Structure 1
């Protein structure tokens, strides 16, 4: 039997003989395919294996080596091309080695911009109004223990003095700012049981020029009521009732009137004594009393702590220190009150100290000042103090002050209360009123809270989990920097908070 070779069918035959064509067209297509196969076989046999076909000769250039003559040569900067625009996402892929240009050269030296390999300077007063989104001079500083955030706060305060700024620290719970104040020739007031220092938080601030006596008396009364309300809310752990507010008003007016007759400043002890005397309180209230003395019973016990409790002798006597507006730094050392687990005494002392400092902050001629709230995480559970801080945050531009709040973790802001509570709203408001956020290394379990509160990107969130000591993420009005803080050798010795560990 004769073997008949299988008929080869081209896999592309439907391309040449599509369905629906007539017989003549299909026959012509098959003939063209056969001719193409024959031509390909002839070309392959013309060049045996190992021999390359001769290269065709290159044509001569159309123009000489000097280029095309005439105006079309684009010489003499006559070439005009449209500008090429692209997004930053595209530019970062095409040019991956770009870095932020920085905040300029005007400001206080901080250290080195890690990505740009350039010096990094910062001054909120110089940046205000020059950077889009920079609406206030307040700063938030967060970082776990041992990463150098306290050294950053102290060096920034120390270097600010060279620019003519003054530093106020209304609460120094560990006494770490006292050596800094001493080195700068400032003033440090130590408060605690058995210490000679005393502050009267009801001291009246000097009347600014251009303000009438009646208007200033109303402002002083409002500040004193705010202080008394904050103290009472802190001790009671709740908001005041309407009759309790009235009792504070009546007691304050009665005490101020009595003190004016003997030409002295009212004291907290006078307020507590008036609240503790129902008959005197009802007599002072007059027709609107409604048994006001009985309603003020809890208030009387709350303020009694300032006179006869663990804070006795610190804020119930005339001030032993006169405020010096020319002092470069003023700190209130409350380290004698920070040893117990209850922060109430510390918060009460800080409330009184900050009220005493308002006499300087309200001075329109006081210049630019920094107010540092160190270990502010201890204050987040007390709405009364948060309200005072919020008032100072809101007035920072008008008063010419910059507030610096130092905490350990961003989640500390969440301890102010449950979602939707007054305390949580106040804490989140303080964060919103900080145009500058500095974040040092955060633990892994804190990354989600930090990213949520600050609106960090995935790259920034990853960065703050691996930052080295002294290196932080600076977010200035939406612009981000990784900055390595650099200390002078003298600063390192002055700011050493690990001396006891060594």
Structure 2
């Protein structure tokens, strides 16, 4: 190779070697950066491990055998729980060591939640304000002697300090009379031979801030509905259009005669209409059957109760008002008529938006729902409960009582079923085994809840509040127990005058046994 050849080779080789040296230099710098980063991360992880180790060493743990010392509740060995294996379907709605949180502390104390051991508190208005329920109505069912009546009485009496009032539009057995008098309210006893008399055509309690024209229209509509309902109840059938006209004309004529009409005036105008109203001379014939039907309230077995001006007045300021219908409890027609008249007499106060929050108790509801007029009135009250601040409570023995209302597919059966649908609080006390299937189907109970019902003791109930379930033991004060006791007649001696109320000690022992 010549000198010129070496010069040309140097020119061609030198740039390539320079690029390689630069590339290696960059690789060494990158490797150094990666090494430095790894070392920093390793140092940080080591520091965290050292901190955690030091924290564990500084933490004092309870020994497996328990704390040392006398009476330290030490155990001889580790606490072991036997393993339990099951399918995911069984554990779908359960998890160990968890309990229902309850409904909160606001409301009326009821008793003890048997699953969580905490106090059980319930108030329909509070739950409605919190959005947990959409309707404040309550359905309460249980066999005789299960304690459902005592629960209803304690719920509404314990609500009185919260400025709630209680209305019982019809008490077929007179169970709420003593309670009403004990809390400073009033119990009006109605029946043949008693001095109390109610005029169902009274204008009633007038709500505040209502115009005269609107009030007159409401009173007229209420009187027309009442007279029609009474007539249908006695006739046991709906009125025909001609009979409706005759009743409306007779009622209008009675109102023209007196500012506050009474039923005898309406009966007289039905049987003997005014000539000015009887243009085609057919009113007497059209109103003959309604007139004779209403005459039973004036001159029949219900004479003296609704055939004159009222001897008692409705006082909305009283904490409790009950209408005792025990004198006519054995007469279904008389009981229905009394309930229709009494509910209409109280309706103006019930539908007062400024009347505050009120309990309306329908005891022995299976009797009331047999009459279409009463059933329609109850349904209207339940649908308007939220607007008027009313919490209706329907009390009966078993849910299959709803199946005895009207024929299958009838309007009355639909109304009775809607009462249950419009109550998101369902309290079920002990049921007989033959009622479990129907009860579970009506309320959508699970198999566990269905199997629980026949095992419930006295005062124990399954509370279904919307989609939540509780098992509560109702607790009574000894004075409440003596006042609410409905089984005293069965246990009393033949000489009723010598019967005494249970003492506080005996009542307390009975409560503990429950």
With the shorter chain as reference, the TM-score category is 0.7 to 0.9
Q: Which has the higher helix share?
A: 2
Change (3 A) 1:182 1:210: closer
Structure 2 Cα separation of the partners of residues 448 and 478 of structure 1: 19
1:446-502 deviation digits (Å, cap 9, x = unpaired): 112211221212111111121111101111112111111000000010111111221
2:267 matched to 1:272?
A: yes
Residue 376 (structure 1) aligns with = 365
SS at match of 2:489: coil
Change (3 A) 1:75 1:241: farther
SS at match of 2:46: coil
Alignment of 1:236-255 (within 5 A): 236-255=235-254
Residue 115 (structure 1) aligns with = 115
RMSD between superposed Cα atoms in Å: 2.1
Aligned residues: 414
- The Cα of 1:238 is off from its aligned counterpart by 1.4
Structure 2 Cα separation of the partners of residues 71 and 422 of structure 1: 75
SS at match of 1:69: helix
2:346 to 332, 357, 378: 357
> Is the contact between residue 92 and residue 98 of structure 1 (CA under 8 Å) also seen in structure 2?
no
1:500 to 489, 494, 500: 489
> Is the contact between residue 166 and residue 360 of structure 2 (CA under 8 Å) also seen in structure 1?
yes
Residue 164 (structure 1) aligns with = 163
Structure 1 Cα separation of the partners of residues 334 and 478 of structure 2: 37
Structure 2 Cα separation of the partners of residues 185 and 111 of structure 1: 25
1:260-296 deviation digits (Å, cap 9, x = unpaired): 3xxxx1111111111112x53x64254xx57232122
Structure 1 Cα separation of the partners of residues 332 and 467 of structure 2: 35
Residue 131 (structure 2) aligns with = 131
Structure 2 Cα separation of the partners of residues 332 and 108 of structure 1: 25
Structure 1 Cα separation of the partners of residues 307 and 342 of structure 2: 12
SS at match of 1:128: helix
Alignment of 1:108-257 (within 5 A): 108-132=108-132, 134-257=133-256
> Is the contact between residue 380 and residue 416 of structure 1 (CA under 8 Å) also seen in structure 2?
yes
SS at match of 2:455: coil
SS at match of 1:223: helix
Residue 103 (structure 2) aligns with = 103
Change (3 A) 1:442 1:201: same
Residue 289 (structure 2) aligns with = 298
Structure 2 Cα separation of the partners of residues 300 and 110 of structure 1: 50
Structure 2 Cα separation of the partners of residues 209 and 469 of structure 1: 44
Moved more, 206-215 or 193-202: 206-215
SS at match of 1:208: coil
Q: Unaligned regions of 5+ residues in structure 1, if any? A: 1-67, 77-86
Residue 424 (structure 1) aligns with = 413
Structure 2 Cα separation of the partners of residues 296 and 352 of structure 1: 21
Structure 1 Cα separation of the partners of residues 254 and 409 of structure 2: 38
Structure 1 Cα separation of the partners of residues 92 and 398 of structure 2: 35
Structure 1 Cα separation of the partners of residues 119 and 50 of structure 2: 45
1:84-110 deviation digits (Å, cap 9, x = unpaired): xxx9975645x2342211110000000
Residue 66 (structure 2) aligns with = none
SS at match of 2:159: helix
TM-score with structure 1 setting the length: 0.79
Change (3 A) 1:74 1:322: farther
SS at match of 2:179: helix
Structure 2 Cα separation of the partners of residues 188 and 351 of structure 1: 17
- The Cα of 1:206 is off from its aligned counterpart by 4.0
1:41-96 deviation digits (Å, cap 9, x = unpaired): xxxxxxxxxxxxxxxxxxxxxxxxxxx735579959xxxxxxxxxx9975645x23
SS at match of 2:170: strand
Structure 2 Cα separation of the partners of residues 208 and 131 of structure 1: 28
> Is the contact between residue 206 and residue 348 of structure 2 (CA under 8 Å) also seen in structure 1?
no
> Is the contact between residue 131 and residue 477 of structure 1 (CA under 8 Å) also seen in structure 2?
no
TM-score with structure 2 setting the length: 0.77
- The Cα of 1:297 is off from its aligned counterpart by 1.8
Q: Unaligned regions of 5+ residues in structure 2, if any? A: 1-44, 54-87, 492-514
